[in-house]
Chain A
Amino acid sequence: DVKVTQSSRYLVKRTGEKVFLECVQDMDHENMFWYRQDPGLGLRLIYFSYDVKMKEKGDIPEGYSVSREKKERFSLILESASTNQTSMYLCASKLQGAGEVNEQFFGPGTRLTVL
């Protein structure tokens, strides 16, 4: 079974702090994603990565950055946390596939509260 793990289930930070959210997958997937999930809204893509050291902006990249130094690890960084970044953050990974569509596998999520 694919396993996607996230470093924390719950995190409380103060405005202006630098925040690191870590995600690790154990199935050698090429693609990794960071989403945020807020009530009444669909999952919104922050950043994704096709391969090591590759990153692409999603729909809402402002205020975030990412790092993918190793294939299994994808980190989300909030350079200076703000209260509007209080949210559930979900990491996902997916096999790239050749001419096929594959599902995304999600981590358990990190509920971040910024005070």
Chain B
Amino acid sequence: GQNIDQPTEMTATEGAIVQINCTYQTSGFNGLFWYQQHAGEAPTFLSYNVLDGLEEKGRFSSFLSRSKGYSYLLLKELQMKDSASYLCAALDSNYQLIWGAGTKLIIKP
């Protein structure tokens, strides 16, 4: 079956760095998305990776290893506003998104 695994909850300190991991098993693979979702709000797009390696976008970076079925989202210089859920989703061979349950990130001062 198809599956996405990510930690349920993580806690980090303001100003620090945090890495949110995601492993996936899908029928075929056409890329991996990360979305941010603040409580009670819509998910918003953060990144898309289809090739191996690290893509940096300001304070946020996303990494993909296709051979390991693994991705991570790296958040630097954490701010209180980064408190949110981070959703990992893989695109399968039919270009359908398989979603993880999300990682709730709690930032402490």
Contact = CB atoms under 8 A, between A and B. Distances in A.
Interface of A: 4, 40-45, 90, 101, 103-109
Contact of B42 (A44, A103, A109): A109
Contacts of A42: 4, 87, 89, 98-102
A101 B95 CA distance: 9
Given A42-B99, A42-B100, A106-B44, 10 more contacts: A40-B101, A42-B87, A42-B101, A42-B102, A43-B97, A101-B30, A101-B91, A105-B45, A106-B42, A109-B41
Given A43-B87, A90-B42, A103 B99 contact: no
A contacts with B: majority SS: loop
Which size class do B's interface residues fall under?
20 to 34
A45 B94 CA distance: 14
Interface of B: 4, 8, 30-31, 33, 40-45, 48, 50, 87, 89, 91, 95-102
